Amino acid sequence: MKQLPIRNIRIFTLSVLLLSIISCKTKSSASAGQQWAASALETAGQQYRFLAKETPPDRFPKTFEKGKLITSSSDWWCSGFYPGTLLYLYKASGDPFFLKEAEKKLTVLEKEKNNKTTHDLGFMMFCSFGNAYKITSLPQYQEVINTSSHSLISRFNPVTGTIRSWDAAPWNSQWKYPVIIDNMMNLEMLLWAADHFRNPEFKAVALKHAETTLKNHFRPDFSSYHVVSYDPETGKVEKKNTDQGYADGSAWARGQSWGLYGYTVMYRFTKKPEFLKQAQGIADFILNHPNLPADKIPYWDFNDPSVPNAKRDASAGAVIASALLELKTYVPKLKSRTYAQAAETMLKTLSSPEYLARNGENGGFILRHSVGNMPDKTEVDVPLSYADYYYVEALLRYLGKSSY
């Protein structure tokens, strides 16, 4: 074999070294101070590669309990989070594996666009098909969002001024017309569709629901009830309760996170000052609460009397962090810094070994220690698909890789 001259070898070695340095700089383009977030996203991708292998083709992962993967059919309210997270991971990495896996699940999920029995179509269809359209611009995805939005507004009652949450069933027979704070999360799809399809009805329904919820769901300290039930004939409030919190008058952590995220989104689309005021009020309630731990991951309910021994809820922390990273862009500099620092603390905590699973642990889910429904003793201290979704979303926002 012909040997290279010494001079050429030196040039080649220098070239390799320079390429290596450039590669390292590219990898750390998020800045040295953000490397932990980039690393966390890589871990998340490794986990979802594992989870994809474990998930049956026609099912959607919910949680992992007692060494077993728990999945759902497409009509479960969490079905959109798994493909949504895959799409976020594709956005973060550019790896076509995540896009292909998401597309497989979208095919199974699409039929839910005609589902008029649930208020959760925003979770199901916008976290999935909404992200898919933003990434690919494929027209078939936007049509799914349009149909889904029509299905969602079929649940709107102009007398109550709200979108009904749960339909009549034995387990919720105590309420005539229940509306839960979670419903605020499903309005983003309507507002996006209103702009995209120039449909004023979508926006009118979203606005009215948000205004009614603002009036009836919140206490003077900006904490919220979980369930507010109405008389569908008169529109008057009949009850204010909880289904998943510690008590009717307590502040169920994930409920507070839904409200914070929901009103931040409402302000994004409408620029109405009352929505910004509400979002700030909820954020300040959360961040200034005496029972919020120093690491900023809330207990499952702020008023659980067993605090500080109560269970933490990583899902609530992930939603709050993501919401704060958007809300900080709408407020004055000092307040913005407060929100940004709190979100960073939350994400660093969630990215620590206590919460962030590695190497095929946790059934392939990303985060540990979420709480689904404590009163029913279901999904307690387990991974949850929506915790993963909002965690990855928050990391992308933190790294400046995600627009709103």
| 3-class state of residue 380 by DSSP | strand
Q: Considering the candidates 182, 301, 304, 313, report the single residue annotated as catalytic.
A: 182
Instruction: Print the SS3 string covering 15-66.
Output: HHHHHHHHHHHHHCCCCHHHHHHHHHHHHHHHHHHHHHHHCCCCCEEEEEEC
75 is catalytic: no
What's the pLDDT at 18? 33
Q: What is the pLDDT of residues 308-349, one digit of tens each?
A: 999 999 999 999 999 999 999 999 999 999 999 999 999 999
CB atoms within 10 A of CB 294: 7
- The mean predicted confidence, pLDDT, of the chain is 93
The answer to whether position 20 is within a domain reads no
The amino acid at 294: A
- Cα separation values, 339 from 225, 288, 333, 342, Å: 23, 11, 10, 5
The answer to whether position 404 is within a domain reads no
Q: Is the pLDDT of residue 65 over 60?
A: yes
Q: Which of 299, 289, 265 is nearest to 371 (CA)?
A: 299
Q: What is the pLDDT of residues 259-292, one digit of tens each?
A: 999 999 999 999 999 999 999 999 999 999 999 9
What's the pLDDT at 27? 46
Q: Is the pLDDT of residue 72 over 60?
A: yes
Q: Is the pLDDT of residue 161 over 80?
A: yes
What's the pLDDT at 172? 86
Mean pLDDT of 352-369: 96
| 3-class state of residue 237 by DSSP | strand
Q: Considering the candidates 120, 301, 304, 313, report the single residue annotated as catalytic.
A: 120
CA separation for the pair 4, 225 (Å, rounded): 76
The answer to whether position 26 is within a domain reads no
Which residues are annotated as part of the binding site for substrate? Answer: 120, 182, 242, 254, 258
The answer to whether position 1 is within a domain reads no
What is the residue range of 76's domain?
39-398
Is the distance from CB of 327 to CB of 319 less than 8 angstroms?
no
Which residues are annotated as part of the binding site? Answer: 120, 182, 242, 254, 258
The answer to whether position 403 is within a domain reads no
How many C-alpha atoms does 354 have within 13 Å on its Cβ side?
Answer: 12
- Report the domain count for the chain: 1
DSSP notation for 331-354 = S-HHHHHHHHHHHHHHHHHHTSTT
The answer to whether position 335 is within a domain reads yes
The answer to whether position 2 is within a domain reads no
Mean pLDDT of 68-80: 98
The answer to whether position 45 is within a domain reads yes
Band of residue 29 on the pLDDT scale cut at 50, 70, 90: low
CA separation for the pair 338, 334 (Å, rounded): 7
182 is catalytic: yes
Task: Give the pair of three-digit tokens for residue 173.
Answer: 């027979």
Write the CB contacts of 139 (distance below 8 Å, at least 6 apart in sequence).
Answer: none
Please confirm whether the linkage preceding 308 is cis (ω < 30° from 0): yes
Q: Is the pLDDT of residue 15 over 50?
A: no
CATH number for the domain harbouring residue 314? 1.50.10.10
What's the pLDDT at 32? 75
State the pTM of this model.
0.92
